[in-house]
Amino acid sequence: MVDILIIGAGPAGLTAAIYACRAEKSTLVLEAKSYGGQIINTPDIANYPVAPNISGFEFATTLYNQAKDLGAQFKFEKAVSIEDGEVKRVHTAQNTYEARAVILATGAENRKLGIEGEDTLVGKGVSYCATCDGNFFRKKDVAVAGGGNTAVEDALYLADLANTVYLIHRRDSFRADAALVSRLKAKENVHFVLNSNVTKLVAEGRLQAVEVTDKNTGEKTTLPIQGLFVAVGQVPENENFKSLVELDAGGYAVAGENCRTKTPGVFVAGDNRTKEVRQLVTAAADGAVAATEAIRFLGS
């Protein structure tokens, strides 16, 4: 049995591990994929205090090593359920782990467009990660779907690699920061396709084109492209734990700034928590708060 079990090795979970270890609590981190969470796909983190121009990979690796060096244990297994009690029993497909407190730092996964063929074309023209897959589309024509920071950053990144980039967004105003949108507008090979949705993927083995439909006029246009980068936000990964935590309409775990959930000894930190600002810096802050609250809980 460990004192604190953290589910998720993204910036929130790894920061929580640092705080838990420094308080001399035995700490186990469970991670379904690889450490780092979503930030690992960011080529250049420009807005984290005192770490300008660091890559997501370097940031995540440094953070992971910091937590490991302080004594955090890691198991790369997916937590599928938690049994509550004075001792919490966390089940993965392979094992059951016991802990006195649990921090849910599961983050979020990419939202899908939900159109026919999307799943089968992943790796054949459809991607959710421009920095991972952008290189395959050098000098090709691509599109990015979405209007948030991820979509605009992806389009900026792809504009330097690809021949033409279409930014397809369902509205004519952006969630993305104005400065990013201005930078994108200055790129000559970027075309904005606004008030439009991707309504069809045209493929023969690989993606060949997308059909977009103008929301206002209903007009359909076919854009011949080889790559579609889907960047339409994230879905929080809380489903497996909904018996222990209250979820809001968007599926986020309801908790205030103290990261406490309705279940004593279960805390939530990072992008899967209800909050106003989902950023690297707020994920790290959540990790610190959740671990501090868990340490307090153990002492009570």
Binding site for ligand NAP (CB under 6 A): 47, 111, 113, 145-151, 153, 170-171, 175, 197, 231-234, 278-279
Nearer to ligand NAP (CB atom), residue 145 or residue 291: 145
- Whole-number minimum distance, CB 264 to ligand NAP, in Å? 30
Q: Is 259 among the catalytic positions?
A: no
Q: Is 133 among the catalytic positions?
A: yes
Contact 226, 140 (CB under 8 A): yes
Residues 6+ apart with CB under 8 A from 256: none
Nearer to ligand NAP (CB atom), residue 36 or residue 146: 146
Nearer to ligand NAP (CB atom), residue 27 or residue 238: 238
Q: Is 286 among the catalytic positions?
A: no
- Whole-number minimum distance, CB 72 to ligand NAP, in Å? 25
- Whole-number minimum distance, CB 234 to ligand NAP, in Å? 6
Of the listed 129, 141, 177, 214, which one is catalytic?
129
Q: Round to whole Å and give the CA distance between 159 and 164.
A: 7
- Whole-number minimum distance, CB 170 to ligand NAP, in Å? 5
Of the listed 132, 160, 172, 248, which one is catalytic?
132
- Whole-number minimum distance, CB 154 to ligand NAP, in Å? 9
The 10 Å Cβ neighbour count of residue 234 is 19
Nearer to ligand NAP (CB atom), residue 93 or residue 179: 179
Q: Which residue is nearest to ligand NAP (CB)?
A: 148
Beta bridge partners of 38: none
Of the listed 3, 133, 154, 271, which one is catalytic?
133
Q: Round to whole Å and give the CA distance between 97 and 265.
A: 15
Nearest-5° Cα angle at 277, 274 to 278: 80
Sheet architecture: strand order including 126-127: 126-127, 227-230, 141-145, 164-168, 190-193
Residues 6+ apart with CB under 8 A from 299: none
Nearer to ligand NAP (CB atom), residue 31 or residue 153: 153
- Whole-number minimum distance, CB 78 to ligand NAP, in Å? 22
Contact 199, 213 (CB under 8 A): yes
C-alpha separations of 211 from 115, 238, 239 in Å: 11, 33, 33
SS3 state at 48? coil
Q: Round to whole Å and give the CA distance between 191 and 213.
A: 16
Nearer to ligand NAP (CB atom), residue 99 or residue 130: 130
Contact 237, 107 (CB under 8 A): yes
CA 215 to chain centre: 28
Residues identified as active-site: 129, 132-133
